[in-house]
Amino acid sequence: MPFFDLTGKTAIVTGGTKGLGLGVAATYAHYGADVLITARTAADVESVTKEIGEQYIKGGNRCVGLASDSGKQGDIDRVISKAVDTFGKIDILVNNAGVSGKTAMILSDECDEENFDLVVSTNLKGVFLFAKAAAKQMAAQGGGGKIVNISSVGGLVGGKGLAAYGASKAAVISLTKTMANEFARYNITVNAICPGYVVTPLNEDIFANAEVRKKMEGRTALRRLGTIEEVAGPALAIVSDCFGYMTGACVLLDGGQTIGG
């Protein structure tokens, strides 16, 4: 069984400079893939690309980066072109870039059109545009490919104060299934990952509050928060050859939150 060997594969990871995106990108690089990471800030892209190259790559593979906005078609086209020009092909796309938006109840003034548009444009439109562009390249080059869309447990439950975020992540799950159906003829699999409460640099200040952390842990069957590694591992498995028969699936990594923990 070709367990977890990505040697010779090329992967694009959007939002790859922090949190889950960085964990996935570093894991792919460690297991042999050439990786292109994207983020909006050029300085972050440069520093993280260097970090992955120095700390995680052990073979002759490489990690490069490009500052871009995953919600803009022109930037997406630049990323696709850079990946092909640098590595010759694209085998894997991980749509990780996303925003949470404001935490606000629907009837409050803060839950407004501007916030809704920002969240949906990044979390849903960006996934649609990037997956479409990558799938076109994968189909043209032949040989198939794998697309992983990072959704959330928030797309499965109605969390208070996160209307736009939850709606966008639910739509990503639906979009994943449609893409899986349409792209199957090109041997391109499309799956979603739905993390629950996972500690990342973006939320560690929140979870540093003992009362908040205990409350969140109490909502899971495992009575603890998840780690970046516990998301990066399944993200690695999904794109390995041993998961070639899985498509249109939603991999739930929530510690048992949705089973009534």
Looking up tokens 């460690």 gives: 30
CA atoms within 13 A on the CB side of 76: 21
User: What 8-state DSSP symbol labels residue 88?
Assistant: S
Helices 42-55 and 19-30 pack at an angle, to 10 degrees, of 40
Q: Which of 117, 73, 126, 79 is closest to 98 using CA atoms?
A: 126
Residues forming beta bridges with residue 11, ordered by sequence position: 35, 92
Provide the token pair at 17. Answer: 């400079």
Asked whether the beta carbons of 153 and 194 are under 8 A apart, the reply is yes
Q: List residues with catalytic annotation.
A: 152, 165, 169
The radius of gyration computed from the CA coordinates of the chain, to the nearest angstrom, equals 18
3-state DSSP assignment of residue 57: coil
What is the C-alpha separation between 151 and 164, in angstroms, rounded? 13
Backbone torsion region of residue 199, taken as left when φ is above 0, otherwise alpha when ψ lies between -120 and 50, otherwise beta: beta
Q: How many residues does the chain have?
A: 261
What Cα–Cα distance (Å) separates residue 131 from each residue in 88, 189, 201, 204?
Answer: 18, 11, 26, 30
What is the C-alpha separation between 73 and 226, in angstroms, rounded? 33
